[in-house]
Chains A and B, each alone.
Chain A
Amino acid sequence: MKFMENFKKGTPLLILALLMICPFVFSSPYLLHIFILIFIWSYVTTVWSYMGRFGIISLGHGAFFGIGVYTTALLFNLYNVSPWLGMLAGGLAAATIAVILGYSCFKFGVIGHYFAIATLVLAEIITLVIIALRDTLETGGKLGLTVRSLGTSPLFFQFENKLIFYYLTLALLGLALLIWKKIDDSKVQRALKAVGEDEEAALSLGIDVVKYKTTMFAVSAFMTALGGTAYIQFTMFADPTTCTGVGLSLGIVFKAIIGGMFTLWGPTIGSALIVVLEEYTRLALGSAFVSYSQIIYGLLIIILIRFLPGGLYGTFSDLFRQKRKREVQVLLSGRQAADPYK
């Protein structure tokens, strides 16, 4: 038992250590590239799940990602502002929009599906704005924009060496997971759990529903925008279809659903799976079936929602926990097992 506990505590550290050494074992730049993509999308999916797991479903995170991407890139291209500052600016811009949208929605009872639609509209608006500003702000419209290259310049967040991005994005993902843990240990987690299930009961117990939801939305938006900055500095190219909009928003949500948004590692597992799947279908099937991966992706989601609503990781870790908890319970009370979904 003691061993199991230590093992469980040590696992994240072990995984981290393995990932740290990884680049020295497989030095192929292609693999590094895939890992970096996995880290970025895991990060974004994890911060999306900060809200998602409490039933606040946003279909507008593509917008926040896009705000991160374009704020950073435009500030640098037009005004030569360091992307490190651009990162902050993008984050703040995303958080501001989240506060305005979130507060007005939550205050007037726009929740559940209606909130999802409101955020979906936001995703579309941001895309249209980026396209509309093609010439005035040199966003490049649908053709996309390229970040001026300076070679390697740490001050300007540009590195030719992928290894640096590998560790940077790994650190970002680590941060997101750490904050998840912090939320779990705080009052916020209790408040949002109650709100997610029964808003009226939560209100009657003095929980400031609007405040907690808006705050979590803002935090999630801010962090998503940071992910956008990391992405653009890595790829140096952005266009509205891959960096913002409804498609991207849905991509984030699907990754979370597939992995399981209610568990710490679920979003990461889901993202890793999807990135690898997309990459594999692209390589195996070539350009003849460009959107083939999307079909597999769609089928996978239908199957998962029908049979494993807790997601892949979520379902299996629940099974494990259920078994252990039942043992403990019978031991202590001799009663029938309680609901495992605590």
Chain B
Amino acid sequence: MLELSNVTKNFGGLCVLKRVSFTLGEGEFVGLIGPNGSGKTTLFNIIAGSLHPDGGKVTFSGRDITGFPPNKICRLGIARTFQIPRPIKTMSVVENVMLGIFFGRKNSTDASRSSREVRQEAFEYLNLTGLQVDEWTMPHELTAAALRRLELARALATKPQLLLVDEFMSGLNASEVLEASAILKRIRREKKITIIWIEHVMESLMNLVERVIVLNYGELIAEGKPAEISKDKRVIEVYLGEDL
């Protein structure tokens, strides 16, 4: 459903992505890993339209979406979360999720729907991500873990076919990581959407995903099942140093 071919991106003289190509099948759960600065988030930004590639092509459901603005890509069915959560701080948590329902969907038939109905639906998404809040809870009252769940709920509210999750577990404690895993599993089971997930918490990632893509200095260096990747010589080199 998503196809990247030879995607290249430079920031000034720095080459952040070098001819990255991969394809994603319907309903796949893919992990995207790599050391810091390897270009993972840049790749997300390109798929989501926040950045435009200097070369290459992004195709989604058979349609060339290279260079589309983020709002259009969202409406086509690709939702994303941000590495550092970006809630709208002046709106309550529920209202943040309502934004996704109101604006992020393919058909904006929601205009005629009553606020109450939309609010109800927003609470369903919050429940799905296990976030317990009331109508008045503001984003600044949430913990780091909860803010990440809000990001996820807000993205899911746009009814995406493809979800880009940028670091769902960083900064969480051990029990929160377990909960987070359970949430992702549940979303997979209930929503049956395709997910690409960037994560540094390797253990959880390897247990959950079906396929792993590894980036290093903007190059795709390995791709395969988690079990294969954890034995891949180049990947081990990248993560642990060469002379091991």
The segment out of A75-83, A192-200, A305-313 that lies at the interface is: A192-200
Beyond A206-B71, A329-B136, is A342–B99 a contact (Cβ under 8 Å)?
A: no
Chain B minimum-CB-distance residue to A208 = B71
Q: Mark B73-112, 1 if CB is under 8 A from A, else 0.
A: 0110001101000111111100100111011110000010
Q: How far is the CA of A208 from the CA of B79 in the complex (A)?
A: 15
Question: Would you call the interface of chain A mostly helix, strand, loop, or mixed?
Answer: helix
The segment out of B52-60, B137-145, B175-183, B199-207 that lies at the interface is: B137-145
Indicate the member of A194, A329, A333, A341 with the most B CB atoms within 10 Å.
Answer: A194
A207–B71 contact, CB under 8 A? yes
A197–B89 contact, CB under 8 A? yes
Q: How far is the CB of B60 from chain A (nearest CB, A)?
A: 15
* Chain B CB within 8 A of A171 CB: no
Q: How far is the CA of A138 from the CA of B100 in the complex (A)?
A: 53
Q: How far is the CA of A190 from the CA of B100 in the complex (A)?
A: 11
* Chain B CB within 8 A of A201 CB: yes
Indicate the member of A206, A207, A209, A332 with the most B CB atoms within 10 Å.
Answer: A206
* Chain B residues, CB < 8 A from A333: 134, 136
Beyond A204-B74, A205-B74, is A191–B103 a contact (Cβ under 8 Å)?
A: yes
Q: How far is the CB of A177 from chain B (nearest CB, A)?
A: 22
A200, A201, A205, A339: the one within 8 Å of B140 (CB)? A339
A209–B71 contact, CB under 8 A? yes
B136–A338 contact, CB under 8 A? yes
B88–A338 contact, CB under 8 A? no
Chain A minimum-CB-distance residue to B75 = A206
Q: What total count of A-B pairs have CB within 8 Å? A: 90
How many residues of chain B are within 8 Å of chain A by beta carbon? 36
* Chain A residues, CB < 8 A from B100: 205-206
Chain B minimum-CB-distance residue to A186 = B111
* Chain A CB within 8 A of B171 CB: no
Q: How far is the CB of B149 from chain A (nearest CB, A)?
A: 16
Q: How far is the CA of A271 from the CA of B228 in the complex (A)?
A: 71
Beyond A190-B98, A190-B102, A205-B100, is A338–B71 a contact (Cβ under 8 Å)?
A: no
* Chain B residues, CB < 8 A from A129: none
Q: How far is the CA of A187 from the CA of B111 in the complex (A)?
A: 7
Q: How far is the CB of A341 from chain B (nearest CB, A)?
A: 6
B91–A342 contact, CB under 8 A? yes
Chain A minimum-CB-distance residue to B134 = A333
Q: Mark B43-55, 1 if CB is under 8 A from A, else 0.
A: 0000011100000
Q: How far is the CA of A204 from the CA of B88 in the complex (A)?
A: 12
* Chain B CB within 8 A of A203 CB: yes
B111, B134, B154: the one within 8 Å of A205 (CB)? B154
A201–B88 contact, CB under 8 A? yes
Chain B minimum-CB-distance residue to A328 = B136
Interface residues of A in 250-274 (CB under 8 A from B): none
* Chain A residues, CB < 8 A from B69: 203
Q: How far is the CA of A333 from the CA of B141 in the complex (A)?
A: 14
Q: How far is the CA of A205 from the CA of B75 in the complex (A)?
A: 8
A332–B82 contact, CB under 8 A? no
Q: How far is the CB of A261 from chain B (nearest CB, A)?
A: 14
A207–B103 contact, CB under 8 A? yes
* Chain A CB within 8 A of B129 CB: no
Q: Mark A157-198, 1 if CB is under 8 A from B, else 0.
A: 000000000000000000000000000000100110110011
* Chain A CB within 8 A of B194 CB: no
Q: How far is the CB of B54 from chain A (nearest CB, A)?
A: 18
A338–B48 contact, CB under 8 A? no
* Chain A residues, CB < 8 A from B104: 205-206
Q: How far is the CA of A205 from the CA of B155 in the complex (A)?
A: 7
A203–B71 contact, CB under 8 A? yes
Chain A minimum-CB-distance residue to B69 = A203
Q: How far is the CA of A206 from the CA of B155 in the complex (A)?
A: 10
Interface residues of B in 119-155 (CB under 8 A from A): 134, 136-138, 140-141, 154-155
Q: How far is the CA of A193 from the CA of B74 in the complex (A)?
A: 19
B50, B95, B102, B138: the one within 8 Å of A203 (CB)? B50
* Chain A residues, CB < 8 A from B88: 193-194, 197-198, 201-202
B70–A204 contact, CB under 8 A? yes
* Chain A CB within 8 A of B158 CB: yes
Q: How far is the CA of A203 from the CA of B104 in the complex (A)?
A: 9
Q: Mark A311-333, 1 if CB is under 8 A from B, else 0.
A: 00000000000000100010011
Q: How far is the CB of B105 from chain A (nearest CB, A)?
A: 7
Q: How far is the CA of A204 from the CA of B50 in the complex (A)?
A: 8
B138–A338 contact, CB under 8 A? yes
Q: How far is the CB of B43 from chain A (nearest CB, A)?
A: 15
Q: How far is the CB of A110 from chain B (nearest CB, A)?
A: 16
Listed from nearest, the 8 A-B pairs whose CB atoms lie closest are A206-B104, A206-B74, A203-B70, A201-B86, A206-B103, A339-B138, A207-B103, A338-B138
A–B pairs, 25, beta carbons within 8 Å: A187-B102, A190-B95, A190-B103, A191-B102, A197-B88, A200-B50, A200-B86, A202-B71, A202-B99, A203-B49, A203-B70, A204-B74, A204-B82, A205-B100, A205-B154, A206-B75, A206-B100, A206-B104, A206-B158, A207-B103, A333-B136, A338-B136, A339-B138, A342-B90, A342-B91
Q: Given A203-B71, A339-B138, 4 more contacts at CB 8 Å? A: A190-B99, A202-B71, A208-B71, A333-B136
> What residues of chain A have their CB less than 8 Å away from a CB belonging to chain B?
187, 190-191, 193-194, 197-198, 200-209, 325, 329, 332-333, 338-339, 341-342
